[in-house]
Amino acid sequence: MPTHDNSYKLLFSHAEMIRDLLLGFVKEEWVRELDFNTLEKVSSSYVSDDIRDRHDDIIWRVKWGKSWLYVYLLLEFQSTIDRYMPVRIMTYLGLLYQDLIRAAQLGTDGKLPPVLPVVLYNGKPRWRAPVEISDLIEQVSGGLEHYRPRLSFLLLDEGCYQEEDLKPLKNLVAALFGWKTKQA
């Protein structure tokens, strides 16, 4: 549904929404080390090596700790369930890394920055599709399993949040999720 994507792109083009998303919905220690004053929107249009345009929804970066190591937040907005979303996220992540390598935007040791892939889903049925790429790949043994890729994304299924979960957060993203829940 284009209106979902377009309105979400507009809303999440504001640093305050990204800050509230991370502080309210990513319950991990490293989030407290982020300098939200450094939030910066990054281009999300890439041309792959075979010259095909790819567009993800929104990418942000933010200073993490005392160094200028960036945590890239790759946001994908979904109103329908996509069983192969992990493949799409892996593609976007690869294109982001290719772009960072081409632009020489790597750490002093030449390493790539961490990425937090987030899928915001607001469809009616609850999300039941895989969030890990390895769940989509046939399992084999005999040593081949060591080469099976691993990549997962953070799924925020708006319909799973109850009003009592959102109310104490007192932030913009919680208000959006609460409003969307009341509309359902």
Q: What is the DSSP letter of 152?
A: B
What pLDDT does 90 receive? 94
What average pLDDT values come out for the chain (184 residues) when binned by 10 residues?
Answer: 67 92 93 92 61 62 79 86 95 90 87 91 93 93 88 93 89 86 58
- Cα–Cα–Cα angle for 11, 92, 173, rounded to 5 degrees: 25
Report yes or no: 71 and 34 within 8 Å, Cβ to Cβ.
yes
What pLDDT does 51 receive? 40
Residue whose pair of structure tokens reads 């632009």 in the numeric block:
103
What pLDDT does 58 receive? 85
What pLDDT does 66 receive? 73
What pLDDT does 181 receive? 57
Please give the backbone phi and psi of residue 20, each rounded to the nearest 5 degrees, phi first.
-65, -35
